[in-house]
Structure 1
């Protein structure tokens, strides 16, 4: 059984461990940011001491995912 992150520190460590290589496809980065948003949201319900900071990271990752999705869409429409 995988140990799910329980704290802000755990969540950051998990995100770092899963981070794609810089040259990874945009779709891989999109999956990464979406997964991070879900993870930070789940951890925000457990680590109540860092709830607001975790919610900041949810928004950050959602914005990154939206930006990546827009870049993918723009790249697809210009092909």
Structure 2
């Protein structure tokens, strides 16, 4: 596992996960590949938190869905050529 993501994967609360994931967010002008990797890894973090932080289970599942949708948007934009100036969609 990438050491930069270790803290996010070790989070035990949704708050800790948010803070760790936020710190890993790529620059707005980062490549589409970097954004896709970010969203896909964030899915894994929030899936884990949904199991670990049971008080925030449903909220963590929302974040799983949101990050998965973002990853799909970035992937689609890469195949169609459409994106915003940062290589991200939405």
- Same fold judged by TM-score > 0.5? yes
Which blocks of at least 5 consecutive residues in structure 2 are unaligned?
82-90
- RMSD over aligned Cα atoms: 1.3
Give the deviation of 1:48 after TM superposition. 0.2
Structure 2 SS opposite 1:50: helix
For residue 84 of structure 2, what is the aligned residue in structure 1? none
**Match of 1:6, SS?**
coil
Q: Which runs of 4+ in 1 moved over 6 A?
A: none
Deviation at residue 31 of structure 1 after TM alignment: 0.4
Count how many residue pairs are aligned between Structure 1 and Structure 2.
Answer: 75
**Corresponding residue for residue 7 of structure 1:** 13
2:52 aligns to what SS in structure 1?
coil
* Corresponding residue for residue 47 of structure 2: 41
Secondary structure class of the residue paired with 1:22: coil
Residue aligning to 1:26: 32
Deviation at 1:63, TM superposition (A): 0.2
